[in-house]
A = this chain, B = another copy of it.
Amino acid sequence: MATIIDIARRAGVSVATVSRTFSHPDKVRSGTREKVRKAVAELDYSPNALARSLRQMRSGTVIVIVPSIQNTFFSGIVQGVENVAHDNGFRVLLGETQGRQERLDYYAAMVSSRVADGLILLGSLLPGEVTERMKEGAGLPMPLVLACERFEDLTCPHVAIDNEKGAYEATRHLIDQGCRRIATVSGPAGNTLSQDRVVGYRRALAEAELPFLPDYVLEGDFTVESGYSAMADLLLVEPRADGIFFENDEMAIGALRAIREAGLSVPGDFAIVGFDDIRFAEFVDPPLSTIRQPTVEIGEAAMELMMRTLRAEDAGATEIILDHQLIIRASSDRSAGWTG
């Protein structure tokens, strides 16, 4: 495997010139550049990024942490991250945690060992190292940007939508459709994003002077399966709800099955709204109303914040809130019946 020395020898120049040809081409005369390019082609050389990173003390790589690549919601965000990373000469790699702390800590260790320069977190987990530092009241132990989730007591650049408002609008929409007994299926209790959405749900109820009933608040974990079983539980609650706000689309899709199996219908018996607008949302029966998040923009903003952090501009506690959008489909449309 050819090294920079081989190229230098072959091109009849110094290693410094070869290096410059790659990093600062404008500082090399074009004739020289040509000689180098020729040698590179002949020997099929490609620079050793490890050596370069070691020397430069930065890897030029960021890792995006997703809870699950099975969750169809993250793709747009990753796309956005990559757009900006590419413009800045950075690589993007993905890590999947499957909700396991150890897995996240494993990726965090890659930053500590300088395999990557920073982490963009899409999930609801924080590296153990970070949690410890927070307790000590110290700063972040590594460059970190949160996309979507926020954490109590953690000062960290962060981009998201206004979850409280999104949930409020979803619930409000159900009320406008004539629902009066509105339930919700939330994410895991510790999840701030989920908590924010529950707050929005309650605000909409309060504003419409509808009672808040604890029995109408079920806890899920954002999976289809949990939506199915939460719905099974909800079917037993009297009086029966007539509208349900699901805190993500996957759970809503799981619930559709439970409702179908019970011989009930949507939106006739239950008007339904989800959250995220995943790709399947408009293909289920009936097509799912939902809150669409601007995923690509979230990713772009997150990577911008990461770049600022890495340039030591200290993005600090910068918080970027982007706009969401209520998408009305048949699952909540009681005005015209529903034809699918």
CA distance A70 to B72 in the complex (A): 5
A234 at the interface (CB under 8 A from B): no
A211 at the interface (CB under 8 A from B): no
Q: Which of B46, B69, B260, B339 contacts A66 (CB 8 A)?
A: B69
A210 at the interface (CB under 8 A from B): no
Q: Which of B49, B66, B78, B93 contacts A114 (CB 8 A)?
A: B49
CA distance A69 to B72 in the complex (A): 7
Cβ–Cβ contact B96 & A95, under 8 A: no
- Given A50-B59, A257-B340, also A285-B285 (CB < 8 A): yes
CB closest residue in chain B, given A75: B70
Per the 8 Å Cβ criterion, residues 238-282 of A in contact with B are 253-254, 256-257, 260-261, 279-280, 282
Interface hit among A29-37, A105-113, A193-201: A105-113
* Copies of chain A in the complex: 2
A88 at the interface (CB under 8 A from B): no
A171 at the interface (CB under 8 A from B): no
Say how far A222's CB is from chain B's closest CB, in angstroms: 12
Cβ–Cβ contact A340 & B93, under 8 A: no
Q: Which of B49, B95, B280 contacts A224 (CB 8 A)?
A: B280
A98 at the interface (CB under 8 A from B): yes
Say how far A292's CB is from chain B's closest CB, in angstroms: 15
CA distance A54 to B75 in the complex (A): 33
A125 at the interface (CB under 8 A from B): no
CB closest residue in chain B, given A52: B113
Say how far A253's CB is from chain B's closest CB, in angstroms: 6
Give the contact-size bracket for chain A.
35 or more
Say how far A177's CB is from chain B's closest CB, in angstroms: 22
Q: For A74, A91, A228, which residue has the most chain B Cβ atoms within 10 angstroms?
A: A91
Query: What is the 8 Å Cβ interface bit string for chain A, positions 34-62, against chain B (1 contact, 0 not)?
Result: 00000000000011111101100001010
Say how far A312's CB is from chain B's closest CB, in angstroms: 14
Residues of B within 8 A of A144 (CB): none
Q: Which of B47, B79, B113, B254 contacts A48 (CB 8 A)?
A: B113
A94 at the interface (CB under 8 A from B): yes
Cβ–Cβ contact B63 & A74, under 8 A: no
Residues of B within 8 A of A74 (CB): 69
CA distance A114 to B92 in the complex (A): 15
A326 at the interface (CB under 8 A from B): no
- Given A69-B66, A110-B91, also A49-B283 (CB < 8 A): no
A206 at the interface (CB under 8 A from B): no
CA distance A89 to B260 in the complex (A): 47
Chain A residues in the interface with B (C-beta under 8 A): 46-51, 53-54, 59, 61, 63, 66, 68-70, 72, 74-75, 78-79, 91, 93-96, 98, 106, 109-110, 112-115, 224, 228, 253-254, 256-257, 260-261, 279-280, 282-285, 287, 339-340
The 4 A-B pairs with the shortest beta carbon distances in the complex, nearest first, are A94-B94, A49-B113, A93-B93, A70-B75
